[in-house]
Structure formats: structure tokens, C-alpha cells
Homo-oligomer: A and B are copies of this chain.
Amino acid sequence: MSKIVKTPKPPYYTVIFTSIRTEGDNGYDEMANQMAELSAEQTGFLGMEHARSEGLSVTICYWENLEAIDKWRENAEHKLAQAKGYEMWYQAFATRVCKVERDNIFEQK
């Protein structure tokens, strides 16, 4: 089961990636798994939350700071995946870089 990421005290950063896929796999799943593993190894990575339903996929990646996000964006393997994303995997997507200013994290006792 997916988990809610235990983030530090704000401010920290997040990239919200919402996407609608094209038909077929076309190597997507393999790449998505690779990118999930690779991003988790980057300096400043805090965690990832993911859900997908009714054609919409949402991936929320948490990072310590903007520098970590910019470095990951420029990662060579990630750039290849991005290029294929534009070319064949996504019908539409939005990438949003955000500063988390406050949060409220609750867990039932």
C-alpha cells in the first residue's frame, strides 16, 4: 500500500506531476519504475506519493529545496525519459513546482 510521506517541517518543496497517457505501454512501465528508483537516490529527495484512476495519474515528489529539483530535472537518464514523454507516452501532462508553506499531518491513534 502507498504511504503518506513523512516530510520535515515546512518550508520544503514538491513537484506535482499530473498526466494522461497515450494508448499502450510502449516501454512506459519499465521507465516509470526506473525513474522512481533513480529519483529516490538523489540528494534532497524526501519521498513520493502516487495514485492513478479514471485515466489521470498523479505523482507528488517531495524535495528539500529547489536546487535538488533542478538537478534532478537535468539528470541525463531523466532527460531521456522526459523526451520520450513528450514524444510518445503522454497525451497531456502538467508539471508544477511548488513551495510547501504549511502542512497538517494526521495519523489515527
A31 to chain B minimum Cβ distance, whole angstroms, is 17
A81 to chain B minimum Cβ distance, whole angstroms, is 14
Contact B103 A97 (CB under 8 A): yes
Within 8 Å of chain B (Cβ to Cβ): is A91?
A: yes
CA separation between A105 and B97, bound complex, in Å?
Answer: 12
How many residues belonging to A are interface residues under a CB distance threshold of 8 Å? Answer: 43
A105 to chain B minimum Cβ distance, whole angstroms, is 5
Main secondary structure of the interface of A (DSSP, over half): strand
Contact A100 B98 (CB under 8 A): yes
Contact A103 B108 (CB under 8 A): no
Interface residues of A (CB under 8 A from B): 1-5, 7, 14, 16, 18-20, 22, 49-58, 60, 86, 90-108
13 additional A-B residue pairs with CB within 8 Å, beyond A18-B60, A50-B58: A1-B20, A1-B56, A4-B56, A22-B108, A50-B53, A51-B52, A51-B57, A92-B107, A92-B108, A94-B106, A96-B100, A96-B102, A96-B103
